[in-house]
Structure 1
């Protein structure tokens, strides 16, 4: 009667080990894509950095483009949970805020934290897109997802009755100010703190979008 228990225990340990390997692989891939470049990073490089065999990387992610896609998803969400951003509790709580100015200020803080995680990888993908079809496809998918997400924010803003511009304009301005470029220029190049950047971005959005 003890054998079934042992099998469940062993299965659980194998699943946890596989998940830990995936986390290490994704972390290694992110770091190498950012520092070495997507095109110059090989599966063997990622395996060495993660401390696993190349076969383990292929088994978990099949190929480098699939690994890039999953690395981006993990970087955006901040974890390896497969939950769309708009469905995450942090954003659902943000949408529950009835005052649009307060909501935009909070979203600027949320977005700044996201830029801290994603801007460097986004720049790496953008840099590789000119010469690598997989990176170009990933960049197009990133922009498609972000435009869709900003459309969701614009719809929620319009639903408050406090939006001073057309919903499409709100979506487009949010899209243009959340790709990491502004964060990279002001924080990484000019030395702003994340707190200063978030406060400025919140003021910009509030002045642009909220009815007076």
Structure 2
């Protein structure tokens, strides 16, 4: 009896340690990509920051582009669960809201929290895109995914019958105002609070998009 229990315990401990290593590596990678830049950050740098061996980073993520991709996914979702943002409870609650003014106001609050997690990393990826092919590919993928996501929001908005512009215009306005640039300029450069930013963004969307 004691043998199998010990093996199960050891296996569980190894999985827990591997999961903890992955989380530390992702936190370290995101911090270094933002502060040092994607191009100037090496796997060895990430390993040293995370307190693991470089081989551990390679075993978990294979290479730096894969590490960047996973760091972005975790930043967007706020955790390491493999659940798309649109399928998370806070987004499903938005789609269930029948009043479009209320929906856009609430969406602005959700988006402000996402920007807090992602805007700096997005700027770092954008800054590296000109010289780093992996960063350029990642930036294109980020913009493509966000355009698809805003298209879902626009379709749902049009279905309420309360949209004052075309579905395409709604999608493009949402897409253009959710890449982190506005958040960075107003919150980080002009010292707006997150609450003030979310309230302003909600008013902007309601005024521009709702009939």
Structure 1 residue 159, shift from structure 2 partner: 1.3
Give the match for residue 37 of structure 2: 37
Give the match for residue 85 of structure 1: 85
Give the match for residue 137 of structure 1: 137
- Measured against aligned partners, the alpha-carbon deviations of 1:146-179 in whole angstroms (never above 9, x if no partner) come to 0011011111111111111111110000000000
TM-score by length of 1: 0.98
Q: Distance in 2 between matches of 1:71 and 1:58?
A: 14
Give the match for residue 11 of structure 2: 11
Q: Which runs of 4+ in 1 moved over 6 A?
A: none
**How many residue pairs end up in the alignment?**
211
CA RMSD of aligned residues (A): 0.7
Structure 1 residue 10, shift from structure 2 partner: 1.3
Alignment of 1:1-212 (within 5 A): 1-211=1-211
3-state DSSP of counterpart to 1:83: coil
Q: Distance in 1 between matches of 2:42 and 2:210?
A: 47
Q: Distance in 1 between matches of 2:92 and 2:199?
A: 21
Gaps of 5+ in 1: none
3-state DSSP of counterpart to 2:27: helix
Gaps of 5+ in 2: none
Structure 1 residue 2, shift from structure 2 partner: 2.3
